[in-house]
Amino acid sequence: MANVVVVGSQWGDEGKGKIVDWLSERADVVVRFQGGHNAGHTLVIDGTVYKLSLLPSGVVRPGKLAVIGNGVVVDPWALAEEIDGLARLGVTISRDNLRIAENATLILPFHRELDGLREAAAGKGKIGTTGRGIGPAYEDKVGRRAIRVQDLQNLDTLPAKIDRALAHHNALRRGLGEPEIDGEALLEALADIAPRILPYMDTVWALLDEKRRAGRRILFEGAQGALLDIDHGTYPFVTSSNTVAAQAATGSGLGPSATGYVLGITKAYTTRVGMGPFPTEDLGEVGKRLGERGHEFGTVTGRQRRCGWFDACLVRQTIKVSGIHGIALTKLDVLDGFEELKVCTGYRLDGEEIDHLPAGEGAQKRVEPIYETLEGWSESTEGARSWADLPASCIKYVRRLEELIEAPVALLSTSPEREDTILVHDPFED
């Protein structure tokens, strides 16, 4: 039995929440290993909609342990609000089903403010962040001035750590013409929120090692998508952490040999939120139709997503970079009714055909997609739970995608409902 790492193979919003929830029935522990509350997962279970941003998707399943790893940046106020929101839906969060790494970095109010100030000052150079302080928190982590979860348990030593952080941030704020941060007010706010967070704190690397040795199945849940990776994504229009599968080990404290099967969540078309290159984006009727049928609005931001045809060239690239063994193809039903479907198989850059997206920002803007046209289908695939329920041309589309991305389809999703899933290969049995 393998542990499973779930990552997005595009720019996020691929439907990871549903797939992780579906897989969590087979898992004992579900671990978030990077990102923050800028990533939204929507689950639909028995007609109830759960919108999660920071908590692992498995937290809504009884008997599962949800873990927030050290690679995540945690806004304690947002986390408390999310826990309260789940309580109103009948989901109780306690130490029995949630643990947070003691060495996870905290997102503080001035991180959110700095995020907004920078975006406002950038003008046309905006990156398109969610404004939730994710990037500035990661900067402090790398700059060795971060305040971490474990720091909340000793308020006597916290003032010195706040002073170290503010020596940097107040200088930035003075340069931006903003008032300085009141360290005492921040200390008071942290002291107030600490009792909401500390009950969940744990030495996560040791906990996960214990679970692994006991033969428990561990599911690692990524946020965003591989194309937003700080190293391998469409830089600088990326997130501030590594989103590829290798981060599951670093962001949880469990060694890479224990991570196992890598499942890439892949939408049957392509979407993107915010700024940055998007070779197959369709600004006409096709893009509009995909957006409307797919309800393409961000779970966290509410922003409308940009839409376009499936980009096999990009997915093939992320499969190689993330070491993806198989994909879960989602939102297949959104393509119902299209007479023709286009798939990008490569690019043309300055007159030359290439088989990958170049790393340079300028080159990424200039690439032109090379399309292959496939036959669509008029029948509905919504709610299909077996291959026999799918039209022949739909099966041909799926098989052609497998050839182009050089990876098999392990799961097919045909609606937001967790049971509307076709299992081709169980990742836990690899």
- Report which of 273, 226, 256 is spatially closest to residue 407, judged by C-alpha positions: 226
Beta strand ranges found along 203-245 (DSSP E): 218-221
Bridge pairing between strands 4-8 and 261-267? parallel
- Cβ-proximal residues to 318 (8 Å cutoff; 6+ apart), any chain: 9, 10, 225, 226, 227, 232, 244, 264, 324
Q: What is the DSSP letter of 305?
A: P
Contact 357, 375 (CB under 8 A): no
- Report which of 314, 329, 309 is spatially closest to residue 265, judged by C-alpha positions: 329
- Report which of 419, 428, 415, 375 is spatially closest to residue 398, judged by C-alpha positions: 375
CA 219 vs CA 52, 168, 213, 253, 410: distances in Å: 17, 37, 15, 14, 16
Cα(286)–Cα(308) distance, rounded to whole angstroms? 7
End-to-end CA distance of the chain: 6
Active site residue ranges: 13, 41
Contact 331, 413 (CB under 8 A): yes
